[in-house]
């Protein structure tokens, strides 16, 4: 069994217990990587993933980077890791580029979030889900649109899904990608994933294959895993949240792990209605 490795770069210590969270710190002089892929992926076209947002999380210890998904005009869905101990968020949407003069980019700040009450980083990655509330409703455009949240199981073995993000493009190159990249991967059997992660894998998690060095990497945490809604038109649904990789690294053939969205649909609905 291989321990889970989260997609960031420092260790929290809480009540003398070591946290499982590894956060990716953003330096003031961040050098962006221009290679057009996550790990083995492709550059996204402008407006291809209009729900995708970049999240800069400020904490007393520094600034960290995550991804997330806009699910309505006021709320961003992401991982609990991405809000834990946050003091403020800077959220960028509408542009595939982290650093450019894109007229479609919208940048907002907020400090309001809802983290799942069952998330305890001193124990495990269970319940790795959170919501960030925008100060004001965002105006939708061709480049900023929400994605539908899945409320039932699209995630059967063999299902083709897409992951997108600005994370590392290799294990050796630690810089964020300046351009949004995506990859197509397949869902695998839960028991097959447990051969890698054992009892650390719970029913509210799902794994995707690691074939051909394709998948998520450091910096892609919190981003949406999406798939077709199967309604006869091009419509996507948000089915899972990027959560963990194997300790063997992003370019290994090991599976990558996600938090199932359908398992938390009622929680999402309640949080967005009453906060």
Token code pair at residue 114: 């809802």
Res. 213 pLDDT band, cuts 50 70 90: low
Which strands make up the sheet holding 88-93, listed edge to edge? 106-110, 88-93, 52-59, 62-70, 75-78, 130-133, 112-115
Residue reference for tokens 């999380």: 57
Domains of the chain are 50-146+266-274 (2.40.10.10), 148-262 (2.40.10.10)
Give the model confidence (pLDDT) of 23-71 as tens digits. Answer: 557 765 444 443 333 555 789 999 999 999 999 999 999 999 999 999 9
Whether 22 has a pLDDT exceeding 90, the answer reads: no
Per-residue pLDDT, 100: 84
Per-residue pLDDT, 232: 78
pLDDT, mean of residues 109-118:
98
Per-residue pLDDT, 170: 59
pLDDT, mean of residues 6-22:
40
């Amino acid at each position: 069994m291989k321990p889970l490795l989260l997609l960031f770069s420092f260790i929290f210590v809480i009540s003398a217990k070591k946290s499982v969270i590894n956060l990716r710190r953003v330096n003031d002089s961040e050098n962006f990587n221009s290679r057009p892929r996550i790990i083995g992926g492709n550059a996204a076209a402008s407006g291809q993933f209009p729900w995708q947002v970049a999240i800069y999380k400020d904490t007393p210890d520094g600034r960290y980077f995550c991804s997330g998904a806009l699910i309505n005009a006021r709320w961003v869905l992401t991982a609990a890791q991405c809000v834990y101990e946050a003091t403020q968020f800077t959220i960028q949407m509408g542009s595939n580029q982290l650093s450019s003069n894109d007229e479609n980019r919208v940048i907002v700040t907020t400090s309001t979030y809802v983290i799942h009450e069952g998330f305890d980083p001193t124990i495990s990655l269970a319940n790795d889900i959170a919501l960030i509330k925008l100060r004001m409703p965002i105006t939708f455009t061709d480049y900023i649109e929400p994605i539908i949240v899945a409320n039932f199981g699209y995630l059967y073995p063999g299902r083709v899904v897409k992951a997108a993000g600005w994370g590392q493009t290799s294990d050796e190159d630690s810089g964020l990608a300046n351009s949004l990249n995506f990859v197509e991967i397949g869902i695998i059997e839960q028991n097959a994933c447990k051969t890698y992660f054992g009892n650390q894998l719970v029913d509210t998690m799902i794994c995707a294959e690691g074939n051909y060095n394709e998948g998520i990497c450091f910096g892609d945490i919190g981003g949406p895993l999406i798939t077709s809604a199967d309604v006869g038109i091009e419509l996507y649904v948000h089915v899972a949240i990027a959560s963990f990789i194997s300790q063997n690294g992003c370019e290994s053939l090991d599976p990558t792990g996600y938090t199932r969205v359908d398992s938390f649909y009622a929680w999402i609905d309640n949080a967005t209605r009453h906060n």
